[in-house]
Structure 1
């Protein structure tokens, strides 16, 4: 299904109608597997995740004035915080926490608008951002392995589950390694399809829900003041809000990658404050409808890298398609019927890829881990984050491990000598952190 074309399609260009549809479908399929995986893991509606993903992306494009071609999907950084918040105050409490995190994005965006971006770049260099992204992936490793080995809700080991997970993982790896063009960009989708087929013949798939579902169904939404009355909780706030430090790090990394791929400095124009605000608005929309918080997706950046199609109209088209899919009941029922070992199989690779992308940031910026300060910062972030360290503020309030790791990493970067080593020797970070007057933020 890869679309061939002879030239680059610019950010503001509108492709011919037939190509427009195919380009948008490519982006839809690229984000689909990962976007529906997050709600599957945190017991939210996959259809609602598709809906909020599409709405969030459209909001992002509006906030960034149609200048950044980025698709937003479900954020993996919020999986563990949402699960923790659900144990305290249910899914409704988790949505309130996600809303508060989105508000923090807005506050940071306004502050950047007022005083500039250099202060943020100073406290979030590659040596902090890279390991924090690694923590996002590696802290989820236990969840992937548990899904691959144990029956849902128990510690009963299952050989059939493990075999299904390994087959799913194997198909995903083959698709990643040997498929070319567009097909090479959607290995998660191939893994889900192949694993689902294998699981079906193992008797692990219940298709009764698919037959019973209607073609048109309104997604299951959790709307404040309609389906529940929101209430503020310090416990939820301290679980969810500090994760904004983690996602801001992730956001900056993604903006650098998008800028590099498209040949534009989006941190300067339309500005990091607009892209952060766009993420915040998308997260607030998701929280208001019962979907997981959103973030820009590397899978869709990969699509743009291969096709050289940077049109925001194509991204907008993918968002409209996602919204449309969310109202097709058969699709929602099909997603819900995917067995947990299939999700576990693709998660093993997907969570590892997230971790590896953090490692790649260190490599791309030529960070010297042999330098003592870099070795200390990265080591502390990784152990605190993956080890699950947390700060107990009160009997019912704690700051989770990912946020603690990011905050401690920032603190170490600010107090240890020889800061210049934390920015590396690559021109990429230097270009991103130099203001219009040509002065470096370092």
Structure 2
């Protein structure tokens, strides 16, 4: 697996997964992949209340694991997944801490790995039958729109004007900047927001607002505080405490109620991974269906491994697929380089402290765009697969689940167990859709172009 054919392609000629350029050029391409995955990979841990440094570290480790499981046939990078962000918000809203979050996500990763084994043994056709585009679009949509109260109640109020400026910059960067630069709009927006927050501190002074550690009371504080940065060492393992008092590196806790909240995210990951493998297969002109199950299994194992140590969930990244499309270099060697660079960054606590000092207003501006894009990816799935909403089965079959999931409807079974939000919404979407959709219409494969919400 580690013997790549060295090539020097003519302009416009592709480099296959089993090939590589000179090591100098390969290192450069690997660094480019790091930049592409960078923004979203550490933004999502921040909004989930987990450690960004640990997420970067495990993104590298899990990428290597994924490549090995897929026998170097599926060039992909595993970055932090957005699929569980809404579930994490729901868990914390019900009193769960970071260990409850990672425990639930760990189970979700194991479920995804089990699905991968089933796909490898039985083929992917049964997934397409259970989760047709009408259903996957609805689930992704309710996951995204379920996050609206998180933006409105937590991030945006910390600094509304910085949030507005950051959101405006991100919208403009994602649409108006050329090629590769538009793909790293999240990263650019974070840098922009950081800089204007620093300038605002110098010109306007401290701001008074509620922070994640102020227990609901407005306090006066600087937007950018690098006190922890000065105390952090240059080299070492991720350490310290999260905002809820749990250690950055921690073991998981398990609760059936919280586990049920993350299962809709597994559906989104299945659709996402299948779509990405199909996209890579088309780009490389190879049949990757035999590796579909391996890809799902690799992502599931990666998520479970990262969560076992307090890390963030992982998924294949559309940003890096976009880089391959732009460069026509599909070499898995470049992904090993990217993974090693990410591991080195993860072993720099000072870098992690800088990331963790991201102002709340900046996160407010980024998330108000990202969360909306997650929801709209669901609509994109419908459009690209031609889901016919002239059919009552598609309209009525999905309607109740969407409202239940987005509106926070609950179904109480006992004093200690209830279904609500995206968990209940997903169940209703799947059950009602199949209850009334007898003709099998709109049951084609999951769209290959399903992408990350942060990918533009």
Please give the TM-score of this superposition, normalised by the length of structure 1: 0.85
**Residues 221, 289 of structure 1: 8 Å contact kept:** no
Unpaired runs of 5+ in structure 2? 1-9, 202-222, 242-247, 450-456
**Residues 393, 436 of structure 2: 8 Å contact kept:** yes
* Higher helix proportion: 1
Out of 55-64 and 10-19, give the one that drifted further. Answer: 10-19
**Residues 14, 311 of structure 1: 8 Å contact kept:** yes
**1:238 equivalent among 257, 260, 263:** 260
**Residues 382, 405 of structure 1: 8 Å contact kept:** yes
Out of 90-99 and 36-45, give the one that drifted further. Answer: 90-99
**Residues 130, 359 of structure 1: 8 Å contact kept:** yes
Match of 1:328 in 2: 348
Provide the rounded CA distance (Å) in 1 between the counterparts of 2:53 and 2:251: 23
Deviation, 1:278, is 0.7
Deviation, 1:221, is 8.5
SS of match in other structure, 2:34: helix
Deviation, 1:380, is 3.4
Provide runs of 4+ in structure 1 moved above 6 Å: 226-229
- Residues 296 and 370 of structure 1, relative CA distance in 2, 3 Å threshold: same
**Residues 89, 150 of structure 2: 8 Å contact kept:** no
**Residues 245, 407 of structure 1: 8 Å contact kept:** no
The total of aligned residue pairs comes to: 413
**Residues 44, 290 of structure 1: 8 Å contact kept:** yes
Match of 1:278 in 2: 298
- Residues 139 and 302 of structure 1, relative CA distance in 2, 3 Å threshold: farther
**Residues 75, 332 of structure 2: 8 Å contact kept:** yes
**Residues 27, 300 of structure 1: 8 Å contact kept:** yes
**Residues 47, 220 of structure 1: 8 Å contact kept:** no
**2:387 equivalent among 367, 370, 373:** 367
**Residues 139, 385 of structure 1: 8 Å contact kept:** yes
Provide the rounded CA distance (Å) in 2 between the counterparts of 1:165 and 1:228: 31
Out of 344-353 and 401-410, give the one that drifted further. Answer: 401-410
Match of 1:73 in 2: 79
SS of match in other structure, 2:315: strand
Provide the rounded CA distance (Å) in 2 between the counterparts of 1:259 and 1:142: 38
Deviation, 1:429, is 5.4
- Residues 142 and 89 of structure 1, relative CA distance in 2, 3 Å threshold: closer
Please give the TM-score of this superposition, normalised by the length of structure 2: 0.82
Match of 2:230 in 1: 211
Structure 1 position 165 matched with structure 2 position 187: no
**1:95 equivalent among 98, 102, 108:** 102
Structure 1 position 421 matched with structure 2 position 453: no
Match of 1:185 in 2: 183
**1:405 equivalent among 386, 404, 425:** 425
Deviation, 1:390, is 3.9
Per-residue displacement from partner, 1:393-422 (whole Å, max 9, x unpaired)?
Answer: 432233442233232222233222454431
Match of 2:206 in 1: none
